[in-house]
């Protein structure tokens, strides 16, 4: 299992990006409102292969003063065996970076999809971060823990997400701290509502002195497809129209302000800037 982590500083904050591996996805159906040929052409224009999409995962750890704050937990250790070591590598990379899981003070969940919450548990179902306060967006928490919403959810992926969230959060006794948008989840880190990918999907503005960083989570899952073409819809978005509107709004802001971005699903380590390109945008690695 390869070791993959990346460090940089944001003012007084130490940032560590930790790979949780990747999966290979089909191009067909990844974007739902355009043809496979159009998607392949967008990938080619950005210099990516057109036969498969490499879909990475990258939680990020901030060390702010005396606090260690982890944003998202990846696919979980159960995924290591299921994927022959391709996914679920967060804990391996924390250890490689010299970070004890037990030293993490806060785990901030951006949204309740399996590749962001399953790593809350070890393979045996015990807590992966036993000393951490787990914070979840209040809009997201209300939705996924609502029995009525679960009963109304369509079969397939949505029902599966409800069941998975109950499995994960029940294992930690539902001991979470819901947080509101526009509030601080830790000193210098403000939650920003970016719904669409999920109903309570959240990003973060990190500030240290004069330096800032935008942790975007899943505002954009693949920049070659959805940054270049912000109005395209991803199969994984709960509300594709809202996700597209959020993406354009956020990327207008990032491009206007030249604000660095840290992305969960961009090529590792997913740190760079968003620039305008035609009617869309492109990602420029740092």
Q: Write down all domains in the chain, each with its CATH number in brackets.
A: 5-285 (3.60.15.10)
For 143-177, b/e burial (b = at least 16 CB within 10 A) is bbbeeeebeebeeeeeeebbebbeebbeebeeebe
**What is d(CA 132, CA 130) in angstroms, rounded to the nearest whole number?**
6
pLDDT given at position 81: 85
According to DSSP, residue 209 is labeled T
Position 1 scores a pLDDT of: 46
| Cα distance between residue 120 and residue 173, in whole Å | 12
Rounded Cα distance between 262 and 214, Å, is 6
Phi, psi angle pair for 10, to nearest 5° = -125, 95
- Picking from 228, 227, 230, 225, the residue whose alpha carbon sits closest to that of residue 245 is 230
CB distance 286 to 276 below 8 Å: no
pTM of the model: 0.97
Task: Give mean pLDDT in consecutive 10-residue pieces for the chain, a chain of 286 residues.
Answer: 85 97 96 97 97 97 94 95 91 97 98 98 96 98 98 96 98 98 97 98 98 98 97 97 98 98 97 97 97
pLDDT, position 58:
98
User: What's the Rg (C-alpha) of the chain?
Assistant: 18
261, β-bridge pairs: 214, 272
């Amino acid at each position: 299992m390869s070791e993959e982590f990346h460090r940089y500083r944001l003012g007084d904050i130490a940032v560590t990006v930790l790979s949780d591996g990747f999966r290979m996805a089909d191009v067909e159906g990844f974007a739902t409102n355009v043809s496979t040929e159009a998607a392949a052409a967008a990938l080619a224009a950005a210099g990516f292969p057109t036969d498969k999409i490499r879909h990475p995962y990258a939680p990020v750890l901030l060390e702010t003063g005396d606090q260690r704050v982890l944003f998202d937990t990846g696919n979980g250790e159960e995924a290591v065996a299921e994927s022959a070591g391709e996914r679920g590598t967060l804990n391996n990379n924390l250890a490689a970076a010299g970070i004890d899981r037990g030293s993490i003070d806060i785990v901030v969940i951006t949204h309740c999809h399996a590749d962001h919450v399953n790593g809350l548990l070890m393979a045996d179902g015990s807590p992966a971060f036993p000393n951490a306060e787990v914070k979840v967006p209040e809009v997201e928490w209300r939705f996924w823990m609502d029995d009525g919403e679960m009963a109304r959810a369509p079969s397939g992926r949505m029902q599966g997400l409800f069941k998975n969230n109950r499995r994960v959060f029940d294992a930690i006794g539902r001991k979470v701290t819901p947080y509101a948008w526009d509030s601080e989840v830790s000193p210098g880190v403000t939650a920003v509502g970016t719904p669409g990918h999920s109903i309570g999907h959240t990003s973060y503005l990190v500030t240290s002195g004069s330096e800032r960083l935008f942790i975007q989570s899943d505002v954009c899952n693949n920049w070659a497809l959805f940054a270049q073409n912000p109005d395209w819809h991803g199969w994984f978005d709960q509300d594709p129209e809202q996700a597209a509107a959020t993406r354009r709004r956020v990327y207008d802001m990032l491009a206007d302000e030249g604000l660095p971005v840290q992305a969960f699903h961009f090529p590792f380590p997913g740190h760079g800037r968003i620039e305008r390109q035609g009617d869309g945008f492109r990602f420029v690695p740092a």
